[in-house]
């Protein structure tokens, strides 16, 4: 029972970070753009969310998080298309610019200069608990899991629907063959910006929800989200394979949940000794590197096998 | 229909690599005219197409399409009226998307005011695409859900051709679109091209390195060299022209250049 409760407590985060993974899937796989805005838009979503929540509107805060992320995506998109900045650099520029903006945001309350803000129970999850009159740690986990699952399913449906619309088709084609999109009289710059906007809007929402789940928002919460998202996308693809956008976004969420559970398992079992929790980012990098290297390793193996057979 | 007035294009202006790709060129096409374009490698044929399509702005001159000045129009806006097929079958299609998705995307050109959030693929559209594909007896119509990347080069060129002409463009530009195909397939794609152009009476320009084809196809032939039109024949004159004449014209021009160079070199001594 304690085991189950422990893993259940990790489920909400897995789902929430699934939104982040969806965002990364869209920029990386659908748009074919390495977008490094992630940590900026995640952090921006988080701080905007806490500021709006402290005014007593935790639900509105989620939408504010979405807008914050979308804003970051549009900035990166404009840098890439209108100003012809290299995609990687464009992301880095937005990300570091946002870091300062986030710091300014944190010092907007009467508490003055600080790098973290507490929600003081003004979160969606607390509101739902209040509404249902629920207490207790276990029940809290269940509420969080159900609320996150609901939001994730809703977002999934919207994204899947979007990629079936005409504009969605244009965004997909932009990542596949931009010349052809332009030859079909579609403004490629615009579809790129729209794609990055949606990707980062999801990441902003993830930031907002993750901080609400924690109960506070810290400038450093965003650290490591990019590599986390990449790992989730890759794990998801390892399970469901590389298929259309619908399966793709679903696999990203699945990858995220699975990844969170793996991490939880590693920490629980102390696989890396007492300091397991400290090695998480390293594990993450390792998983990404290995998975990305597998095709090359497979090919090398096949080649050497062939060479041996030829002798 | 298409009116090109004294256009010039200089690449890498002001550097040691400065290269005049198009030199004060003028050309006028009547509606429904089918012009074949020949010329050696680097003559500026593709550059001319790029200028018409708006891949870059020209350095001087004017381009009019159907009496509308399009000199400063952006590429994607010009694409509403101009269809283009490249030599490389990979270039005109999105390889990881299905045939029907590609066609649906290309069909945007005719549906400029459609709701962007409407369904990308509808039964009605698919039926329309299938019907059009079926006419060419290549068996593509039964593979609507296949990724385009899995089709052969010839099949892809046919799909690209259809993508460009489903909504009839004012101008069709074909840049050696059969050059990457085997002779039999090239023949077939060429037949299909002629059918589509004739049926819709599309004003067309086609670049080719096949001199025989350049005289047998269409109604007018122009030859480019170093960014200039050095030959423009149609009607009787063209009918009486043989491939040998064309080759001769060509080498004559080259010979002249050679002589010029020689004079230049000898005067330097
Ligand atoms: N983007 C560019 N930048 C610099 N130079 C260019 C560019 N595009 C074309 N050129 C130059 O312009 C000249 C004409 O090129 P173009 O591609 O139009 O030739 P072409 O007639 O299409 O030849 P081919 O038969 O080989 O396709 C060439 O010398 C080429 O190097
Ligand atoms: Mg060329």
Q: How many domains does chain B have?
A: 1
Average pLDDT taken over every residue of chain A? 91
Instruction: Give the integer Cα–Cα distance in Å for B244 and B232.
Output: 16
The verdict on residue A84 lying in a domain is: yes
pLDDT value for B254: 66
User: In this structure, how many other beta carbons lie within 10 angstroms of the beta carbon of residue B103?
Assistant: 25
The verdict on residue B129 lying in a domain is: no
For residue A215, the 8-state DSSP code is T
pTM value is 0.89
> Is the pLDDT reported for residue A272 higher than 90?
no
The verdict on residue B123 lying in a domain is: no
pLDDT digits (tens, 9 = 90+) for B150-179: 999 889 999 999 999 988 999 999 999 999
8 Å CB contact between A103 and A220? no
How is A266-295 classified by DSSP, letter by letter?
HHHHTTTGGGGGGGHHHHHHHHHHHHHHHH
pLDDT value for B269: 41
pLDDT digits (tens, 9 = 90+) for A70-101: 999 999 999 999 999 999 999 999 999 999 99
Q: How confident is the model at residue A1 (pLDDT cuts 50, 70, 90)?
A: low
CA of B89 to the centre of ligand 2 (A): 14
> Is the pLDDT reported for residue A144 higher than 80?
yes
Instruction: Give the integer Cα–Cα distance in Å for A218 and A200.
Output: 19
8 Å CB contact of A167 and B97: no
The verdict on residue B263 lying in a domain is: yes
8 Å CB contact of B120 and A187: no
Instruction: Give the integer Cα–Cα distance in Å for B83 and B19.
Output: 28
The verdict on residue A206 lying in a domain is: yes
The verdict on residue A61 lying in a domain is: yes
How is B235-248 classified by DSSP, letter by letter?
HHHHHT--HHHHHH
Enumerate residues lining ligand 1, CB below 6 A: B 11-12, 19, 21, 39, 41-47
pLDDT value for B255: 65
The verdict on residue B110 lying in a domain is: no
Q: Give the domain extent around A206.
A: 2-220
Q: How confident is the model at residue B268 (pLDDT cuts 50, 70, 90)?
A: very low
pLDDT digits (tens, 9 = 90+) for A17-44: 999 999 999 999 999 999 999 999 999 9
Q: How confident is the model at residue B264 (pLDDT cuts 50, 70, 90)?
A: low
pLDDT value for B245: 82
The verdict on residue A186 lying in a domain is: yes
Instruction: Determine the average pLDDT of the residues in A92-121.
Output: 92
The verdict on residue B135 lying in a domain is: no
Q: Give the domain extent around B243.
A: 2-96+147-268
> Is the pLDDT reported for residue B242 higher than 90?
no
Please state which of the ranges A151-155, A250-254, A266-270, B76-80 shows the lowest mean pLDDT.
A266-270
Give the rounded percent of residues in chain A with a pLDDT score beyond 70: 98
pLDDT value for A241: 84
Long-range CB pairs of B260-266, under 8 A, 24+ apart, other chains included: none
Instruction: Give the CATH number for residue B219.
Output: 3.40.50.300
8 Å CB contact of A180 and B116: no
A177 vs B contacts (CB less than 8 Å)? 91, 93-95
8 Å CB contact between B111 and B166? no
> Is the pLDDT reported for residue B108 higher than 50?
yes
The residue contributing the CA closest to ligand 1 atom 6 is: B11
Q: How many domains does chain A have?
A: 1
Q: How confident is the model at residue B261 (pLDDT cuts 50, 70, 90)?
A: low
Please state which of the ranges A124-128, A277-281, B55-59 shows the lowest mean pLDDT.
A277-281
The verdict on residue B113 lying in a domain is: no
pLDDT digits (tens, 9 = 90+) for B174-218: 999 999 888 888 998 999 999 999 999 999 999 999 888 899 899
The verdict on residue B119 lying in a domain is: no
pLDDT value for A277: 66
pLDDT digits (tens, 9 = 90+) for A208-243: 999 999 999 999 989 989 989 999 999 899 888 888
pLDDT digits (tens, 9 = 90+) for B25-77: 999 999 999 999 998 888 999 999 999 999 999 999 999 999 999 999 999 99
The verdict on residue B103 lying in a domain is: no
Greater confidence (A295 vs A162) lies with A162
**Which ligand has the minimum distance to the alpha carbon of residue B40?**
1
Q: CB contact, 8 Å: A183 with chain B? A: yes
* Residue of chain A minimizing CA distance to B172: A183
The verdict on residue A246 lying in a domain is: no
8 Å CB contact of A164 and B115: no
């Amino acid at each position: 029972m304690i085991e189950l409760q422990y893993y259940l407590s990790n489920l909400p985060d897995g789902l929430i970070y699934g939104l982040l993974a969806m965002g990364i899937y869209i920029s990386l796989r659908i748009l074919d753009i390495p977008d490094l805005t992630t940590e900026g838009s995640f952090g921006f979503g988080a701080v905007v969310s806490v500021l709006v929540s402290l005014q007593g509107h935790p639900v509105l805060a989620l939408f504010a998080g979405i807008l914050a992320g979308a804003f970051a995506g549009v900035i990166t998109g404009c840098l890439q298309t209108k100003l012809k900045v290299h995609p990687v650099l464009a992301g880095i520029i937005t990300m570091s610019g946002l870091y300062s903006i986030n710091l300014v945001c944190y010092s907007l309350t009467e508490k003055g200069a600080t790098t973290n803000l507490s929600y003081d129970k003004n979160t969606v999850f607390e509101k739902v608990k209040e509404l249902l009159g629920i207490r207790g740690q276990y029940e809290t986990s269940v509420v969080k899991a159900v609320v996150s699952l609901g939001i994730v399913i809703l977002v999934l449906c919207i994204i899947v629907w979007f990629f079936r619309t005409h504009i969605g088709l244009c965004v997909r084609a932009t990542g596949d063959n931009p010349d052809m999109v332009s030859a079909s009289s579609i403004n490629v710059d615009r579809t790129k910006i729209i794609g990055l906007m949606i990707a980062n809007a999801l990441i902003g929402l993830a930031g907002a929800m993750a901080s609400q789940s924690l109960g506070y928002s810290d400038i450093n919460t965003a650290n490591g989200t990019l590599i986390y998202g990449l790992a989730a996308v890759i794990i998801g693809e390892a399970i469901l394979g590389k298929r259309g956008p619908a399966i793709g976004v679903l696999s990203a969420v699945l990858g995220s949940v699975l990844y969170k559970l793996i991490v939880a398992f590693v920490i629980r079992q102390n696989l890396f000794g007492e300091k397991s929790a400290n090695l998480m980012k390293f594990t993450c990098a390792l998983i990404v590197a290995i998975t990305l290297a597998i095709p090359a390793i497979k090919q090398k193996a096949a080649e050497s096998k062939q060479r041996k057979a030829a002798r | 229909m298409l009116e090109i007035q004294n256009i010039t294009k200089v690449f890498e202006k002001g550097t040691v690599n400065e290269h005049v790709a198009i030199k004060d060129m003028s050309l006028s096409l009547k509606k429904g005219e089918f012009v074949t374009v020949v010329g050696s490698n680097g003559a500026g044929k593709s550059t001319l197409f790029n200028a018409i399509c708006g891949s870059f702005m020209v350095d001087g001159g004017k381009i009019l399409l159907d009496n509308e000045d399009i000199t400063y129009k952006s590429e994607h806006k010009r694409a509403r009226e101009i269809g283009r097929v490249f030599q490389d079958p990979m270039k005109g299609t999105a390889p990881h998307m299905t045939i029907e998705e590609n066609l649906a995307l290309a069909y945007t050109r005719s549906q400029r005011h459609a709701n962007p959030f409407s369904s990308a693929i509808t039964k009605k559209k698919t039926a329309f695409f299938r019907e059009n594909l079926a006419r060419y007896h290549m068996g593509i119509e039964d593979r609507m859900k296949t990724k385009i990347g899995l089709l052969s080069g010839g099949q892809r060129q046919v799909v690209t051709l259809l993508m460009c002409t489903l909504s009839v463009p004012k101008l069709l530009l074909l840049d050696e679109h059969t050059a990457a195909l085997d002779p039999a397939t090239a023949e077939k794609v060429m037949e299909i091209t002629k059918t589509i152009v004739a049926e819709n009476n599309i004003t067309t320009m086609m670049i080719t390195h096949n001199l025989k084809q350049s005289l047998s196809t269409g109604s007018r032939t122009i030859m480019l060299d170093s960014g200039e039109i050095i030959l423009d024949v149609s009607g009787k004159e063209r009918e009486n022209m043989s491939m040998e004449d064309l080759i001769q014209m060509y080498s004559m021009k080259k010979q002249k250049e050679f002589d010029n160079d020689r004079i230049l070199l000898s005067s330097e001594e």
